[in-house]
Amino acid sequence: MRFRRFFYTAGILVSFFALASGLFAGTAQAVPEVYTVRNITVDATAKSATDAKAEALSQGYEKAFQILVERLVPQSDLGKVPRLSSKDALGYVLDISLSEERSSAVRYIAKMTVRFKESQTRTLLRNTGAALAETISKPVLVLPIQNRGGESLLWGDRNDWRTAWSGLEDSNGLVPLTLPLGDLEDISLVDARGALGGQPGLWDLSARYGSSDVLISVAELSENGNSAKVSAVRVGQFGEGRTYRLDVKRSEAETAGQMLQRAAQSLDRMLQQDWKQENLLQFGVERWILVQVPIDGLQDWVLINNRLQDIPAINRMNTRTLKRDMVNLDVYFVGDERQLTLALAQKDLALLLNAQSLWELRLLNKPAASQTLSLPEPGQGATAPAQNEAVIDEIVVPDSEINLENTQ
């Protein structure tokens, strides 16, 4: 649901600041993206199209829950979480959306996106004793380089390693992956040698795709194509130069391309696992800090507020004082200050100690004035959706299949 708030007079502006002090305690939190599993392919055949669709949705509930578990729970704790049947998984579903639907008299195919209920689902997972991570990383730009015949290939159809990574952008992990288009602008910014050498064009390419980190991955196939040596390094603001290495061998049932795809999936799992280990939530320990938030006005505070609401590590916040140029907050959170700082950085918020040794929260990458909240004339209605907004074919709230007494 989208909404806008407009303020026309100084009196209303003062009222906003008075009400904002209870924002986190008195308003419902939006379901965060971390509990949304997107673009699951469902495909079922039955006696009728209706039965096929019901079977496909049943598959989707079960598959989505398992993907969610694998997203949030580290590998070492996966065995603690039982697999739920589709009926049991449905009890934790908030709503679903369907797109790319196709059907015949006996078959149904679609892409399914499932939103789970945050509170109930987190409680379920915590009660199993499994550790959880909920911080979503900023997108990481993947640059696959293939060594072939004495040359290093980054762009072009001859790079089989790039092809192997092409299906992983929808992996539903906490670290979203982005593969560059490889168009003329990309090619002009950096080549394989420049990427490996960390030339400025690498960061220009990263900025073009809104990424602060780059995963540079190199693959070298054996002459007979039966094995490959692959390596990767994550560099950038949050990468810390972490490296990964893997030797893979082709099985009898695989092609060389399938072997490389399996290697890319393995590197992705390593990347996701490291991020989860760095961001495990320590639910049993709540910490508190006083934070100063310098602002240039209402629009800054609205923007910061919106970003703070998506930080899973923050349990609650109390506003001590609200002024036109400064907000003082009590922040209660799980984990430690390092984890909180990392989580905030993913939302372009910098937490640091100032010269007075007080915690200070600063807004980074502030949108241009044209992109912030507009203040229309009184009586002006809501604007129409942008022309390039994604359109979902169907939204389904499965209330008829859920015990409503247990819903949020």
- A 10 A CB-CB count for 103 gives 14
Q: Are residues 286 and 253 in the same domain?
A: no
Give the Cα separation of 2 and 268 in Å (integer). Answer: 33
Question: So what's the pLDDT on residue 157?
Answer: 85
CB 88 within 8 A of CB 189: no
**Cα angle 177-100-383, degrees, rounded to a multiple of 5:** 80
Instruction: Work out the pLDDT band at 178, boundaries 50, 70, 90.
Output: very high
pLDDT digit string (tens) for 385-397? 343 333 333 334 3
Whether 378 is in a domain gets the answer no
Most confident of 25-34, 93-102, 276-285: 93-102
Confidence check: pLDDT of 73 > 50:
yes
If you average pLDDT over residues 400-406, what whole number do you get? 33
Instruction: Work out the pLDDT band at 171, boundaries 50, 70, 90.
Output: confident
Q: Are residues 41 and 129 in the same domain?
A: yes
Q: Are residues 159 and 209 in the same domain?
A: yes
Question: Whole-angstrom distance between the N-terminal and C-terminal Cα of the chain?
Answer: 16
Tell me which of 76-90, 111-125, 288-302 is least confident. 288-302
If you average pLDDT over residues 110-123, what whole number do you get? 93
Q: Are residues 161 and 273 in the same domain?
A: yes
- CB-side neighbour CA atoms (13 Å) of 39: 7
Question: So what's the pLDDT on residue 371?
Answer: 45
For the domain that residue 167 is a member of, what is the CATH number?
Answer: 3.40.50
Q: Are residues 257 and 337 in the same domain?
A: no
Q: Which residue has the higher pLDDT, 161 or 149?
A: 161
Q: Are residues 291 and 267 in the same domain?
A: no
pLDDT digit string (tens) for 180-218? 999 999 999 999 999 988 889 999 999 999 888 999 999
Instruction: Work out the pLDDT band at 403, boundaries 50, 70, 90.
Output: very low
Structure tokens at 372: 């912030």
Confidence check: pLDDT of 404 > 60:
no
Q: Are residues 255 and 293 in the same domain?
A: no
Q: Are residues 274 and 144 in the same domain?
A: yes
Whether 222 is in a domain gets the answer yes
Q: Are residues 263 and 164 in the same domain?
A: yes
Structure tokens at 377: 């004339």
Give the Cα separation of 48 and 66 in Å (integer). Answer: 27
Residue 6 CA: distances (Å) to CA of 53, 54, 353: 43, 43, 34
Round the CA-based radius of gyration of the chain to a whole number and report it. 24
- 56: domain range? 33-133+393-406
Structurally, how many domains does the chain consist of?
3
Question: So what's the pLDDT on residue 369?
Answer: 52
Structure tokens at 211: 């990424």
Whether 194 is in a domain gets the answer yes
Q: Which amino acid is at 212?
A: S
pLDDT digit string (tens) for 34-56? 899 998 999 999 999 999 999 99
Residues constituting the chain: 408
Instruction: Work out the pLDDT band at 368, boundaries 50, 70, 90.
Output: low
Whether 401 is in a domain gets the answer yes
Pairing assessment for the beta strands 213-221 and 140-148 based on DSSP bridges: parallel
Confidence check: pLDDT of 283 > 70:
yes
Q: Which residue has the higher pLDDT, 242 or 115?
A: 115
Query: DSSP characters for 30-91?
Result: PPPGGGEEEEEEEEEE-SSHHHHHHHHHHHHHHHHHHHHHHHHS-GGGGGGSPPPPHHHHHT
Q: Are residues 88 and 192 in the same domain?
A: no
